[in-house]
Every structure is written in C-alpha cells, then in structure tokens.
Amino acid sequence: MKRFENYVLGQWTPGADAEYVARHAVTGAELGSVSSLGLDYAEVLDYGRRMGGSALRAMTFPQRGLMLKALAMHLQARKEDYYAVSYATGATRVDSWIDIEGGIGNLYTYASLRREFPDLPYHVDGGLVKLSKGGTFGGQHLMLPLRGVAVHINAFNFPVWGMLEKIAVNLLAGVPAVVKPSEFTSFLTERVVRDIVSSGILPEGALQLVVGKGHGILDPVQRQDVVTFTGSYATGYRLKSTGRFAELGVPFNLEADSLNATVLGPDAVAGTPEFDLFVKEVAKEMTIKAGQKCTAVRRIIVPEGQLEAVQTAVAQRLAGVRMGDPAQDGVRMGPLATTLQADRVREAAQVLAVENEVVYGSVDGGAEGAYYQPLLMRCARPLDANAAHRIEAFGPVATLMPYRDVAEAAQIAAMGGGSLVSSIVTADKNAAKEFVLEAGYSHGRVLVLDSSSAKESTGHGSPMPLLTHGGPGRAGDGEEMGGIRGVMHYLQRVAVQGHPNVLSHVAERYYPGADRPEANPHLFRQHFEDLRIGDTVTTATHTVTLQDIENFAELSGDKFYAHMDANSLEGTIFTGRVAHGYFILSRAAGLFVDPPKGPVLLNYGIDTCRFTKPVYPGSTIQVKLTVQEKVDQEKRSPEDIAKGIVKYYVEVVDETTEVVAVATILTMVKKRNQA
C-alpha cells in the first residue's frame, strides 16, 4: 500500500505504522496510509525555529513578499495536478477551485501586501511619539518577527486553502510553519507540499508537514510559538484550555465551525431580484463542498409572510442539483469527504429532526457510501428552539426559521452563540444597517447582498484574505487573515525609547530632532543607493510678496477671500491677506529642486502636508529638505529602470525660524547600479 509521507527535518519520511488509511470518497478505493507515529515533535519544532526562522528573519518584507509571489506562480502552473487529486476528496471542479485556486490566491494577496511594509526585516509601527518638551526624547513602536514557529492544525474540508491561507501570513511576517492537515485529506496537502519543497523557493525549515494524526504535536510548544486550529469547537476548545497555553502564554487562534445564518430582508418578497438571489445563495451554500464549509449556511431566517414561498423555491432549486460522481458532466454535488463524515451528518440530522420538521430530503441521507442528499428542515418557533441553535450537521443540511422584524432576525441569528459569518439579502439600506448594528457583535463577518453587488459579490461563504476571518463565541473567538492585521499576529511589538538620532537609526527613517547633516552633493544629484537617511539640503530664501499671491490666484483659480479680499477678514484668524498654502509648498519646491537632469526621475506624490502658520506678504521663507525614508522598487521587466522611492521631509520656516509648513513628498530616483 502507498504510504503518504511527512516532510520534517529537511526530509520526506513515513510514520512508523499506519494511523489511518485514506480512501477515495467516490469509489471507496484505498489511496494509501498516513502516519506521524515516531516523529519527535520537539525536534521538528526546534528545527523550524532554528533553520526556517533565522532564514526568514534575515529577509525583508519585500523579499518575503516576492517569495510568496514566486510560490503562487509555481503552484498555479501545476494546479491541474491538484485538481486530479482533489477529485478523490469528493470535490467537484467548483469545489476544488475554491480550495486550490482560492489558496493560491491568498499567496498572491499576501505577496502584494509587501508594499504596505517597510523595506526592512521588521515593521515600523506608526510614527514617532514625542516624550519630552525639548524633543530630545521620544518613542517608536517596532514589530519584530516572533522567534518561534507557527503550528497550523487544519480541518479536512480544505486541504489546500487551509494550509496556504495560513502560511501566507506567517511567512510574510518572517515566521516558519509546521502544518498538520486532517489525516482524512492530507494526501492532497502532501501533493502540494512536494511541489513547494522541490521548488526551493522557501528556505529550508520554513515549512514542515505532518500528514498523520499528530498526537503530541502541541506538547513541545514554547513561548514565541503560535498555534492555530481550524475544526470543531469542541476539539479546539479542549486543546486551547490545556494548562500549557495559559502557563506559557502561547497564542492559540481557534477558528471553529459555527451555526452561520442568512437573513432574507423584509423588502425582498417573492418576485424581487433579492428574493431570487437569496434562494440561489442558500442552495449554493448547502451544496458547494457538499455543505462541508465552516462558513456554510445552517440557519435560514426569513420573514413570516415569506416562509412558504422560500421553502418552495429552495426545495425546487435543491431538486435541480444533481448529486453523484464529480467526474461526470452535470454533477454539481459530490459525496462528503469520508463515510465517517456522512455518518456524523446523519447522526446530527436525527437530533435536529426531533425538534424540526423535514420539508425536503430525508434524515438518512437517501444515498449510500459517503453521499448525503441535501436536507432542508423547518423550525416553527426559533425563539423557543434549542437544537437548531446548538447542533450542527456538517454537511448539506439547513433549517428554515421565521422572524417578525429585523431586530428579531438579529436576535435569532445571535442564538447560535457566535458565528463566523451572517448575511442579509436586502435592497433596503435601513434594514441592512439595522441588522449589521444589531447582529454584528455576534458574528465575525456580515455580508450585505443585493442586486447592485450580486455580480461581483463573493457570496456568504467566501472569507477574503484582506478581511478578518473568525468569530466570537462558538466560532472560537479567533481571528486570522485580515491583511496587515493577520501579519501582526506573528510580530512582537516593542516600544523603543531614546533620542531621535537613535530612533532614526533603528527605524531607518528620519525623525524631527535627529541630526541633519548637509548633503554634498545636492540630494537631487545622488542616486538611490547613495542617499543617506537624515541628509539635508538647506535652501536659499524667498520673501513672499502681494504679487506672489495675485499671480498664484490667477494661475490656480483659487481666489478664496482670505487670499484676495482684505475687507472680509473680520472675525477670522487672519490679520491681512494670506499666502495660499499651496503657493508656499510650490515655492518651497522651487527652492529645493535642483533643475538639471539627474538621478531623480519624477515626483511621485505627497504623503502628508500641513500648513501650520499663516504667511503674509513680507515674510521670508526657507526650506530644509531631508531624506526621510527609502523604499526599494522591483523591476517589472529586465528592461525596466532600476529605481526606488525616496520620501523627503519638507520643512518650511519663516524669518523667525517658526515652521509654517511641513510635508512628506515622494520622488522616484534612479539607481546607480542598473543590473
């Protein structure tokens, strides 16, 4: 029998004895055995910390992001191989697309986030905090990669997405991972990891794989490690509640299956586009992945007057869903991942049927093997119900519930004890707002769907990498993904205090109060590599005249009264006609720009700008232009110009040396080395 292998300590190795025999969800044929017996998890985790951690921490955020991009491209080119293996999990082409290409999409998304971080191995969080009156003492928050390893324990339903959506985050942060997928479908995860390892894109130790049951994998976790768990709330809570996590303070992110709800808005009566959207979305959520999604709709909450219409429409749509071998044309729903899963759904459905009426399908599933037909139930009194808000059948099973008003709909939705997602389908913005505000506290995500967003909406069950995924209460009280927010889970915040000279050196950005040596040659004559943080150009002066104000008003069209009408200034802060703020900034540029052609390619924009003191005719201004920060740029093609973005701190003072304007401008600067 084939043996699927673990990838640990830099090599592929099978477990000592078979812990589980994976079977084809469609045919029942044996695929191979999996085992993690005999693995030394203390050694595995330490290997990740030592080998993978040190290599990742040596890379900058942009380098780690480009690593993720290369990995995404590598896997994208091999995706058809994964589709072929995914078929054995019972997945249709659409099911596999969500798992495989959804996971690869997460890699691309987090790769693009490299632009949101500095060109450093660590993150500079916020700006300088002034801690003294004289400006010689301040503070700066830094975010440093944890010195541990991320241990990801994933569920059976998404063997590719579950891994990739998690490692994309920790790898961008600079933290290695040990991934333990469910033994039921780890054969697909193993197939993907083989391609990752053979590519050589990730540094050794950055990713390790455990394909078996992984008993004991959490025993050697230490401070600085992070554990994530996706699966049932009961198992996750049991693991999270062990004394080791409380004692060591190891973060444990629990993302659990929950009793997610969808609500039909009071305006969405039969015949409206929103009614049809709702029915379509409910049927989709019940049948995609055969209902084996942590975000799938379990409770269908509809206005009392629309209950019969919704029941009929959903039943008709489910009747049109062909179940069977996903390899056959026209099949839209395959089997559950294993016969064990089908048995568990059947057991849960039997409990639900005691309290609720079956209105479509049958509790026994109506099929053999791992197949289970869609089952729709009806709960007449949801406010008095128990099982429907407590028992989840993790398959194509959902329960209809009536409500009287939006507040009651939110109340019913919250009775699930907290969920990953809730949705409302309505064209009424007031109803949508009321539901979001009433129900939001008990859900990690709320989708508002109407005909105007339907074409591009990703739907109820699709968590997006730039938004947080998780939820309160039964959903685990966890939070993952979420763009930059997710990366922060793998970084340690430290407040650094000291003189601006020290803080500027540590953060590699200029802070007011730090030294500003005069640049030689002029900053606009220097290539990107040669520019140094803090180097400054102090300009000549210019005395502002009334004619400057008149000319700028004509040129810009800005004839605001404060600039043009001295008789309209009573009751204002101005004592006379005042120069335009944008004239001051423009004239500042005229003072600091070195005109001849040089390494500066273009003006890239303005990040910040503040006008801090009025400038009147007769005032004399001067500028200090300081290199604030440098951001390397990637070449888009071999022919592209090698360059970077330079952020300059622009400080404009008057004849009293008081600051009248400050700004951060950006220029694109050519590199000396064009290789």
HSE at residue 175, side-chain half, CA atoms within 13 A, is 31
Task: Choose the catalytic residue: 183, 294, 434, 629.
Answer: 294
Our answer to whether residue 434 is catalytic in this structure is no
Name residue, tokens 């990801």: 152
The torsion angles phi and psi of 378, rounded to 5 degrees, stand at -135, 130
Alpha carbons 97 and 635: distance in angstroms, whole number: 31
> Nearest 5 degrees, angle CA 631-CA 632-CA 637?
145
Please list, in sequence order, all residues whose beta carbon lies within 8 angstroms of the beta carbon of residue 561, skipping any fewer than 6 positions away: 568, 569
Our answer to whether residue 294 is catalytic in this structure is yes
The torsion angles phi and psi of 20, rounded to 5 degrees, stand at -160, 140
Buried-exposed string 430-452: b where 16+ CB fall within 10 A, e elsewhere: ebbebbbebbeebbbbbbbbbee
Alpha carbons 402 and 438: distance in angstroms, whole number: 17
- Label the pairing between strands 643-653 and 620-632: antiparallel
Q: Which helix (H) or strand (E) holds 228?
A: strand 226-231
What is the dihedral angle through the alpha carbons of 515, 520, 525, 526, rounded to the nearest 10 degrees? -60
Structure tokens at 303: 């206005």
Please list, in sequence order, all residues whose beta carbon lies within 8 angstroms of the beta carbon of residue 591, skipping any fewer than 6 positions away: 539, 540, 541, 542, 621, 622, 623
Structure tokens at 633: 């740029």
Instruction: Encode 422-466 in three state secondary structure.
Output: EEEECCCHHHHHHHHHHHHHHECCEEEECCCCCCCCCCCCCCCCC
Alpha carbons 464 and 635: distance in angstroms, whole number: 28
Alpha carbons 88 and 23: distance in angstroms, whole number: 8
Please list, in sequence order, all residues whose beta carbon lies within 8 angstroms of the beta carbon of residue 260, skipping any fewer than 6 positions away: 295, 296, 297, 298, 299, 416, 419, 420, 421, 422, 460, 461
- The answer to whether residues 426 and 281 touch, using CB atoms and an 8 Å cutoff, is no
- The answer to whether residues 257 and 348 touch, using CB atoms and an 8 Å cutoff, is no
Task: Choose the catalytic residue: 101, 165, 190, 255.
Answer: 255
Q: Which of 189, 229, 237 is nearest to 212 (CA)?
A: 189
Please list, in sequence order, all residues whose beta carbon lies within 8 angstroms of the beta carbon of residue 166, skipping any fewer than 6 positions away: 150, 152, 154, 177, 179, 228, 480
Q: Which of 114, 29, 671 is nearest to 338 (CA)?
A: 29
Alpha carbons 438 and 413: distance in angstroms, whole number: 10
The DSSP code sequence of 457-517 is: ---TT---TTSEE--SGGG-S--EE-THHHHHTTEEEEEEEE-HHHHHHHHTS--TTS--P
Residues marked as catalytic: 255, 294
